[in-house]
Structure 1
Amino acid sequence: MILTLADRMSFANFTNPYRKPADVPEDYRKHPNLSKLFKADGTYIRPAEDPVTIWAIALLHQEYGVPLDALELELYADFSEGMHQGGRRYQGRADMIVYDDRYIGAGGGLDVAFIMVEAMEPEKKLEGTEPEGWVEHLNRLNAYMSASPSARYAILTSGTHTKIYRRDLEYPRVLQEIGDLPKYESARSAAEHSPFKVILNPSEPDGIQTGLQPLTRDKFREVLGDTRSGCHSILRDNEGLQPQEAVDAIVKFLFAKWYDEQATIDLVKKTGEMRSYVFSYKQGETDPERLMVQVRDTFEKAKQWERDTLSAKFGDNLGIRLAFTESDALEFKPHTTVEIVKRLQPWSLRKSTADVKGGVFEDFLGKTFRDDLGQYFTPTPVINLMVGILQPTVHDFIGDPACGSARMLTHVLDYVRKRELARAEAEQSYQKTIDYVFEQLGINLECTQRKRNALVPISVLQGGRFDFEAVVTLQDISSQFAEHETTLIEEVVEQTNERITPSIDSPDEVVNYIGLANIQSNTGELVNFELVQGKEILSSSPKFSKGDILFGRMRPYLNKVWIAEFDGICSGEALVFRSNKNKVDIQFLHTLLLSQLTLDQVVPLQSGSSLPRVSASDVLSVKLPVPKDLQKQQEIGNEVKRRRNEAKQLRHGAKAVVTSAKARVERMILGEEEIGEN
């Protein structure tokens, strides 16, 4: 026979195992959450009532899996929404609250009450109306439950008699008596059996493994759709909602789901433990009542996140910027919540593209509102055409005066995100190439940087300027790399300064002219290069040959260093260096010149306020770890060249996507291609 909690709680002849404080297990007596039951000398504060409380705690912990960390005892609060006595606001003391433990270990307190427990002395009669009797305790418990919107279960016990209640959904102030409590599923146990959870995994991007999949347009339409298994139909059938109301409910569920995905990742990073998503259900393991409470709380936290985010930008005057009001809630029947969660749990809204989410959702909005309210939604192909014409960048401001579903804005965001992601991946590849060189040299550049920053500043007169950072760097670089060979740049290159004035010397010739704008910062790649007529270049310009290095002397912090791919002339703001091939590999040297190590030495030596410059002698005095073993340099240089070519292909690929999109838009405008979906 299976015993219910009420059966287990029966004190036959009051054989209470914890009547004496000394009989209470040590881990209970010493747990900080249970300290309110004991005096400093270890005796009970309320000798008649406290043994009942500790006994109920033991049963909940041992038989139902409630963590002791999820308990709070003797909570004093203002229960103004509940019971009033003598026409006055009722100040109450809840004997015990069992919280949802999802955020245990994440810092801060638990705030989602799930179970309320009211204990009394064992001799109190069942249904007794005497002062501090059964009925008075029941009224008090009802008041506590009414004041807590999240609490689902209530336990009233004297030890001798116990009753278990569940809050009525339609009438929240009414408690329904039930036979037993479901097993409490702790956050850790939920993560063990849930198929949809977040796990720390160093081999995955961002160190996180989620297991969720992005939605396709067809799958999203199926999940939300009007078929019998779709969320829209479930909400209409189970809750009796009108089509418009069902769409509103779907929006709330999707908002909570979207927030849950990131909040769970943040929770795992903070606690270091795996966690299941709130939107996760397993038959026979997940309590529908608990799931309903967690989904409701997730929606409330998502609303607060939205308010905090917007307040940081716009202040307290948020007005219509908020998607939801304080009164908006997400609370449907447990069975309904389970069915919605089951359909949403395998999919990631964050990984799904704006086009998929926006397109499918507009299908529903169109079907629901278009006929009745005359709403019109811009077709996806037209949006694609308009965004393609704009070619927005991360630096642009985009406004949509006729914004409805914000689909135009989400398409712009998606366009810029893809473009910037491709660019970032390429730049990351270049940085990894620089890191590779220092790894091959056995140098921890990050550690070296910390050492340099820790040096005591000293002022030394250098060339008529107080450049203590530069002097310290130049004096200390050898000692920092004591185990490596260091070389002045002037020992492995020579500066060439042959100049011509094209407008005079070759006005009618087409020349290869390189300005600093043609050299990309941090990557050293050639960009936006075009041949020009000699007559257009009025200033004296240094000549360079293929294989020379051009080093940007103006605003050196922009880090512009290029290996010449052809013969030509350049801006006078670039220094031209020719390497000694018997001492240094050109690819190896180029990578060192692009590194933070060079910037740390050169930037402090710049002079001038609006357009700071560095002299050739300052650059030539930079020290770099150049091994005497030329073969080792060449081996590293060959690998550098291979890696740079891969990075260049990534960048060109990103540029080709944009160029192709732009050309397609132009063909659409000219009528040479029909406007399609893709």
Structure 2
Amino acid sequence: MSEQAAVTVPSDDEAPDGKVVDYISGIQVPAKPEELLAVQPFARQLVEDYGYPKGHIRTRPQWHVKARPSDRAKTYPVDIAVFSGDQHRDEDLFLVVECKKPDRRDGRDQLEDYLRLSRAYLGVWTNGDERLFLRKREANGKVTFDEIPNIPRYGQRVEDIGLFKREDLRPTHNLKAVFRSIRNYLAANAVGMTRDEPLAQQIMNLIFCKIYDERFTRRDAVVTFRAGVDEPVADVAARVKESFAHVVKQYSDVFDDTDKIELDDRSIAYVVGELQQYCLIECERDVVGDAFETFIGPSLKGGQGQFFTPRNVTHLVRALVRPKIQDMVLDPACGSGGFLVEALRGLWDLVDDRADELQWPDSERESEKQKVAIRQLRGIDKDEFLSKVAKAYMALLGDGRGGIFCENSLVPMRDWGLKARQEVSVGEFDVIMTNPPFGQKLKVTERTTLAQYDLGSKWRKAKGGVGYEKTDKVADSQTPQILFIERCLDLLKDGGRMGIVRRSRCCAIRRTATSCSTY
């Protein structure tokens, strides 16, 4: 066993300022950007996702390769070197990882140099935001390089990449890094598609193909969502597109017949290669949620006040309103579903507490969590894309997507679709958590909408000059955030609690039969 493998790795908490503890060796190293964003995360993935023993991996001291074949000394330091055993010999080196070059082209050039000057035949370049996988071929005195979908897991051959059975798939704890790589690759390389919203829609389509494949493939059968090393990208794309037709039927409340996978074949194959070895439905829910937010967040900065509410804000609002295990929860401006997911996490924590206390079996625990998601969470958003994102988010975490509706919360509720009217009623909800759109430039001017609200009317000073009284005249306009407050209070039960974000502040309100108060 190598000396490196025998080291007990301390935690980063034990490293002084400006240092980070190397995951493989346990040595404290300078906390440079490439170290924090690329070297350490990928070293961890090699062990946790690909299964390589730490003793087979060299980070510190760094492995070196020659600058030129004629050199006697090795002068090029390799960020990560992976060997077929724990002796760390030249003849056992088969994989090198380059992290120092931030640009994809420069990174590939450097990686190819390392492969030419060493025995390694596989290479990875990553800057923490993108990844590239290469295989070296030597024939007739020439060295060539092919891009491949991924690298093999420990014990696999290169030829085994993409030949996963359903039972071979494993969850990961670092899905966020994988999703970030996918998003950045597509933003830079997807043909005919550069805006964030279409890219977000496409990645959602592919994620659901992956989930469908995991749920409807026998454990001993080879998965459909796969990309082999020498498989033409057109074949990968055709197989995925065929699978998506089944997805549209299975998740008809999330997708419709107009939804298509419109990425070019190479981009589809790249996404499949990145995700194919993982089992998304067995990942921890927060892992999937964090990854989903990493990808979807940049697409949600619109001109109508939509944006992605930060996790710390949703968590604070949940702490203020404290949802109880039987509470009905609503977000009438749910956007991408951040508050609903936060509420769901809180309710599931309460289910776990009860399950632990009563010693429920795992099947009963999960069944109760699904019931909570389906019966107690409701969300409304007028933006079709955002409501679809919210449905997708809920479906990825478990369920509850059937409680999301694409409607305008401010219009008369009689104008909503039948299903929304059946599921969302005045005075029905124990908890409202929301971050409605705000801004002086956003105005509601439709008289039918304004006429519903006390705050949509004109007001005048009361007789005697004390206070104000409502007139019977409809105001010319009103900002939506003002109307949302009144609509939310109408939807709350007596004794209900509302956590609402108003500009940069969070406010908690309790409704009673005669008044409302902050708390």
TM-score, scaled to structure 2: 0.35
Higher radius of gyration, 1 or 2: 1
> Going by fraction, where is strand more abundant, 1 or 2?
2
